[in-house]
Structure 1
Amino acid sequence: MSASVYSSHVPAIGAAIDHGKTAEPYWAPMFAGFEPSKAWMKTHRPDVVFLVYNDHATNFDLSVIPTFAIGTAAEFEPADEGYGARPVPKVIGHPELASHIAQSVIQQGFDLTLVNELKVDHGLTVPMNLMFGTPAEWPVRVIPFHVNVVQYPVPSGARCFALGQAIRRAIESFDQPLNVQIWGTGGMSHQLQGPRAGLINRKWDNAFLDRLIADPQDLSAMPHIDYVREAGSEGIELVMWLIARGAMADAGGGRSPRVAHRFYHVPASNTAVGHLILENQA
């Protein structure tokens, strides 16, 4: 595991990209914050991205919502909630590594749902755009990893952090020398409905980033009610960042990671956009 990347996956960001609006005054500052990330990616491009995201009723509706689901297929078609597929390349998977991770993580006590046919929505494709731009083909293979943060009960931060640790152990035990990054997506503070619709909590978001960098173990103990109270009903997506953070070397006794880039911007479609790149140090 070489690095972890954390990013919001606001659907309006994808729409801005798809409709050529990235240079407009409203959007330009947000996209400028990811230019250093694209430059970083050119020299730190992995073989595989293990991408943690949540499905938005594209592949899983309210009849079946797995808590944790891993995409084990060779490829994944883009789709999206209600308005069709975005004009992005299909996602190429890595079935061998995905199957190995599933085997290892399940044996470590985490019950995963295996998904051999999966459509991926903006939760996955928007972060890909932000890090790679709009290529004709994605330059890396991707293992999609869905987390239920839509329908309660949702997994705890502590469970997500421990899952990240198990994923790191699984990747380290794979018998091919692959460069793998893990990405945590979603958030930051936002609420899409009710009397608090449009809530953004800049102070809390930046404190979350501070704690994610410096003391993720302590952060993982934060109860759900704090996410909802301080970051809005959709702020609970941030538990997915704890999966990525748990997979870093220091969570397994190694050195603390290096902060390669940090960025925060409000608003983007009434949402706070957070972004962080952490590198493991040899």
Structure 2
Amino acid sequence: MAKIIGCIGTSHVPTIGVAYDKGKQEDPAWKPLFDGYKPVAKWLEDNKADVLVFIYNDHATTFFFDMYPTFTLGVGERFPIADEGAGLRNLPHIRGNVDLQAHIAESLVNDEFDLTITQNKPIDHGCASPLPLMWPHEPDWPGVVVPIAVNVLQYPLPTPRRCYKLGKALRRAIESYPEDLRVVVVGTGGLSHQIHGERTGFNNEEWDQEFLALLQHNPEKLTELTHADYVRLGGAESVEQIMWLAMRGAMPEKIRKIHQNYYLATTTAMTVVVYEGEEETTSSAVGSNQSVMA
């Protein structure tokens, strides 16, 4: 049977992809961020991950505000990476597994999640920005991706609790798949940031650290917050954090943090965290780095 071996929370800032494509991994302004993903890549390699279930949001690339689904699951053998204005990226199309994707879709619908299903649609920076930092891709990706897009742009949004329940249903779907696959669930977005309006450039490091602590030890408390609470505490775009709750819902009650990197150098508190279930832990801690630049 398929098994969830851990989960990853990661920012999906589009400039990460731009900096990566321009070879800025050793640039002093970017090095702390890129270095923070090296332990993640090693953890995925050491644990032989076959599948990344990516919970992300589409940034008006495949969908637009006249038709923006609440939950969307992508099905396809290959997904092109969207050109969002900077040109096509020098990355292979993202690999998929149609049988697994179809199984998850059917299981989630039977678990009363009314999904939109797309086929072979392009994937934007919500997934494609952090992906090459975690997985090698020459000549091709080492495994497959199950893309699940969540509406965090067009109100009304799914509630934090609904996203948490999505994660629980996703775990049931994965664990009922008969093939022996090692699966990692990735929640993307955030942490604190606002990129428009009077609070442009707003960050709240104290809230970011509280969120990460609650995510690990008391996620139920995070499900009780409203969208307005997330916006007030972390900025308008930090409502993306509800996608981390979907990732957390797919994990057991008790989890162990394997790695954390927090880097505040732009308008977004760029963060990556790796967790394993305490009863499922297979690797030793690979470190934690807290890096804040004024």
Query: TM-score when scaled to structure 1?
Result: 0.95
Q: CA deviation at 1:48?
A: 1.0
Tell me if the contact between 1:4 and 1:248 (Cα under 8 Å) persists in the aligned partners: yes
SS of equivalent to 2:80 = strand
Tell me if the contact between 2:16 and 2:130 (Cα under 8 Å) persists in the aligned partners: no
Tell me if the contact between 2:52 and 2:144 (Cα under 8 Å) persists in the aligned partners: yes
Alignment of 1:136-215 (within 5 A): 136-215=139-218
CA distance in 2, matches of 1:219, 1:63: 30
In the other structure, the counterpart of 1:258 is 256
1:123 aligned onto 2:120: no
In the other structure, the counterpart of 2:270 is 273
CA distance in 2, matches of 1:211, 1:130: 26
Which residue, out of 66, 91, 96, partners 1:88?
91
SS of equivalent to 1:270 = coil
Amino acid at match of 1:265: Y
Aligned length: 276
CA distance in 1, matches of 2:200, 2:271: 19
SS of equivalent to 1:12 = helix
1:236 aligned onto 2:242: no
> For the aligned residues, what is the CA RMSD?
1.2
1:62 aligned onto 2:75: no
Q: CA deviation at 1:92?
A: 0.7
SS of equivalent to 2:89 = coil
CA distance in 1, matches of 2:73, 2:79: 12
Query: TM-score when scaled to structure 2?
Result: 0.91
C-alpha change, 1:98 and 1:114, in structure 2 (3 Å) is same
Gaps of 5+ in 1: 251-255
Q: Among all aligned residue pairs of Structure 1 and Structure 2, give the percentage whose two residues are the same amino acid.
A: 42
Cα deviation 1:47-104 (Å, max 9, x = unaligned): 1111100011111112211110001111100113333332211101111111111111
Shifted more, 202-211 versus 133-142: the winner is 133-142
Tell me if the contact between 2:80 and 2:120 (Cα under 8 Å) persists in the aligned partners: no
Q: CA deviation at 1:148?
A: 0.7
Cα deviation 1:34-56 (Å, max 9, x = unaligned): 22212222201311111100011
Q: CA deviation at 1:206?
A: 0.8
CA distance in 1, matches of 2:52, 2:11: 16
Q: CA deviation at 1:188?
A: 0.7
In the other structure, the counterpart of 2:286 is none
Tell me if the contact between 1:51 and 1:184 (Cα under 8 Å) persists in the aligned partners: yes
